[in-house]
Amino acid sequence: MAEETLVLFKNIRNPKYDKSLSAYKKSGGFKSLKKVFGMKPDEVVQEVKESGIRGRGGAGFPTGLKWSFMAKGTGKPSYLVANADESEPGTCKDRELMLKDPHMFLEGLMIGCYAIGCHHGYVYVRGEYFPSIKSLNEAVDELYADGLLGLDPMGSGFNLDITIHTGAGAYICGEESALLDSLEGKRGHPRVKPPFPAVSGFNGCPTSVNNVETLACMPFILGDNGVEDFKNFGPQNNSGTHLVSLSGHVNRPGVYELRMDVNMKDIIYEFGGGIRNGKKLKGVIPGGSSSPVMTADEVDVLYNFDDLAKKGTMMGSSAMMVFDEDTDVVKLLHRITRFYAHESCGQCTPCREGTHWSRQIIRDFLNGNGSEEKLLRLNRVGGNMMGTTLCALGDAAAMPIQSFVKKFPEEFRKYYATV
């Protein structure tokens, strides 16, 4: 059972692979792009739609549908921006792709550009990813030298440039409209929507923002029989393989490429090798720090978008953070909330004030000043951020608070029960 399904990692798992362009080509790279250049852009979008791939960045929005929303005939250029601002705590999968097999992702990006008629693609990489940035820049240079980028690659007549853009440290820039603001050279403040980026994105032009992993799937999907194979990797509506970043108290943390019909239990105990030091599992944050927490007895579930949604949580960016019986849940929540307080852009009221205030309340528990009243208040303040903010950061900060309070109330009470 405990075996990966290698699509995105097929080269990375090959110990002899050296990530150079020639090595990538030898492994069958750029065949899909060649095929795509022979298709009409609409046909490419159609195939992506049929594959059923959902965005791997966290929201799980169907990629083909997103591309089909791109405004046409505006007289403005269209843009494709790869979202490589991987900052959701627990997530480190895009980094692997960019670092160890940049060409697969870049081929995907080029396919995407062709599909939506974009002649200049951007990769927005978070600034801290120095090694990935270096790796991508080298790969792009190789592509230019090879003629795969620039004027008329492969005789397609489709001119294409790619620029690697570095961010500078802001979680919120993973939100697509904030990312575009940042790419434009501004503070990364999420924008009012509508208009959506597909209508008015980068510099006011139609733009699609897609996650690195999503784009990296494109060479496979557009390859021979790719659509059918891709669909077969998981249950309906949850097609393809995905990269699971497993972290926390497991024996073998790491990034694993899995089908979408693998049980979470198996991920923890088979792939992750179980809880370290022989401890018992206490809970899992299943999809990046913003997803509602799950207790140990909830983890017998298939790890995909829909099955987790049925459990009242979400797969997000496929980042599982496992914690054992010794973990202080209140401290953990404090750390999560501190993260959101630090990363709130501050422009909108509930998030700016709510993230900070809830952090202060949790700190009270840690300092021995907790009370039943404060527990209720924490839940209320968290809930008040839910659905009232401009972007999803308010929700992202609220979900862990509400789920921790709901699922581990006794842990909070421990802090003041003796008084």
Partner 1 sequence: MPLFKGFNMPVFDIDGELVEYEPGEKILSAALRCGKIIPHYCYHPGMSIVATCRMCLVDVVDMGNGRPAPKLQTACSMDATEGMKVETLNPKVEEGRKLVNEFLLVNHPLDCPICDQSGECTLQDYAFEYGSGKSEMDYSKRVSGWRDIGSFVALERNRCIQCSRCDRFTREITGTNEFGMFNRGHELTVDTYADRPMTNKFQGNMADICPVGAITEKEFRFKRRAWKLKKNRSICTGCSTGCNVTIEHDRNEIFRLKPHENQSVNKWWLCDEGRLTYRIMNERKTRIHQPLGRVEGKLEGISWEEAYSAIAERVGDLSALPEEVLALTDTHASNEELFLLQKLLKDIFSSDNIFCPLPTWEQSESEFFINTLITTDNTPNRAGALALKIKGDAKSTKLKKAIENELKVVFVLGNPFEAEVEVQEKIKRAQLVVHLGTFHNSWSEIADVVLSGQYYSEKEGTFTNKDQRVQATEIAVKALRRTRPEWQILMDLSASLGHGNSYSSSADVFNAMTEQVKSFADLSYAEIRLFGKELNHKTKDSGMKVVKAHT
Partner 2 sequence: MFSKDIQTQVDKLLSHYPIRQNALIPILHLAQNENEGWLTEAWMQHVADICEVPLTHVEGVVTFYTMFRLKPPGKYHLQVCTCVPCCLVGGTELLEHTEKKLGIHAGHTTDDGIFSIEEMECIGACSFAPAVIVNEDYHEQVTPESMDKMIDELRK
Interface residues with partner 1 (CB under 8 A) are: 170, 187, 192, 194, 341-350, 352-357, 360, 377, 384, 387-390
- Shorter beta-carbon distance to partner 2: residue 40 or 130: 130
Strand arrangement, sheet containing 207-211: 161-166, 118-125, 78-84, 207-211
Q: What Å distances lie between residue 141 and 23, 104, 106, CA to CA?
A: 15, 15, 12
From CA 286, how far away is CA 274, in angstroms rounded?
16
34 binds partner 2 (CB under 8 A): no
| Dist. CA 82–CA 156, nearest whole Å | 22
* Residue 65 binds which entry of partner 1, partner 2, none, CB below 5-8 Å type-dependent: none
CB of 162 to partner 1, least distance (A): 30
Q: What does the DSSP 8-state code read for residue 347?
A: -
Instruction: Tell me which residues in 116-135 interact with partner 2 (CB under 8 A).
Output: 126-131
Show contacts with partner 2 in window 372-411 (CB under 8 A). Answer: none
CA angle 100, 105, 109 (to 5 degrees): 160
Q: Which of 74, 163, 360, 369 lies at the binding interface for partner 2 (CB under 8 A)?
A: 163
Sheet (strand 294-295) strand order: 254-259, 241-248, 319-324, 281-285, 294-295
Q: How far is the CB of 332 from partner 1 (least distance, A)?
A: 21
Q: Does 310 bind partner 2 (CB under 8 A)?
A: no
The site partner of 384 among partner 1, partner 2, none (C-beta below 5 to 8 Å per kind) is: partner 1
Q: How far apart are the two ends of the chain, measured CA to CA in Å?
A: 50
The site partner of 248 among partner 1, partner 2, none (C-beta below 5 to 8 Å per kind) is partner 2
360 binds, among partner 2, partner 1, none (CB under 5 to 8 A by kind): partner 1
Task: Assess 4 for contact with partner 2 (CB under 8 A).
Answer: no
Whose CA is closest to 31, among 222, 173, 201, 194?
A: 222
The distance from CA 212 to its chain's CA centroid, rounded to whole angstroms, is 8
Binding site for partner 2 (CB under 8 A): 77, 86-92, 95, 126-131, 161, 163, 165-171, 182-188, 203, 245-249, 253-255, 285, 289, 319, 321, 323, 327, 332, 335-336, 339, 342-343, 345
